[in-house]
Amino acid sequence: LSGIGSAVGIGYPARAAAGVLSEDPSRFGSLFLLVVLPGTQGFYGFVGAFMIIGNISKIATMAQGLQLFFAAWPVAFAGLVSAIFQGKVCAAGVGLVAKRPRESMKGVIYAALVETYAVLGLLITFFLINSVQF
């Protein structure tokens, strides 16, 4: 789910950046971070999946399997929702760069505020996985 959110989230600023770059290709560097930032949630989901995969061989009961399944939910849903909304914030940041190229980091800072909740989802998933008794 976090990968889906990242795919959708990257689409918003990428479309906006394509318009800006058609007018001024030299702004690619200042727009790149705004475009790729919503992709980090997909990476967090990947990390959560690897933590679960590392424990699959230890599963002995249905309850343990369900605990691992539900442990994935925080990173999955936080990643899905935050990536989409982060993409919208980043698209607004692209608009900022279009008008004021030197202000790109302000857009990145706003996007990083949304990122906080994806990181919290990963952190909760980490704690839940580590709390499963094998």
Residues 28-68: tens digit of each pLDDT: 999 999 999 999 999 999 999 999 999 999 999 999 999 99
The DSSP 8-state label assigned to residue 59 in this structure reads -
**CATH 3.30.70.370 given to domain 2-131:** no
The whole-model pTM stands at 0.90
The predicted-structure confidence for 92-113, as pLDDT tens digits, reads as follows 999 999 999 899 999 999 999 9
Rg (CA), the chain: 18
- Sequential DSSP letters for 89-128: HHHHHHHHHHH-GGGHHHHHHHHHHHHHHHHHHHHHHHHH
C-beta of residue 10 within 8 angstroms of C-beta of residue 36: yes
pLDDT at 134 (0 to 100) = 84
The rounded mean pLDDT for the chain is 95
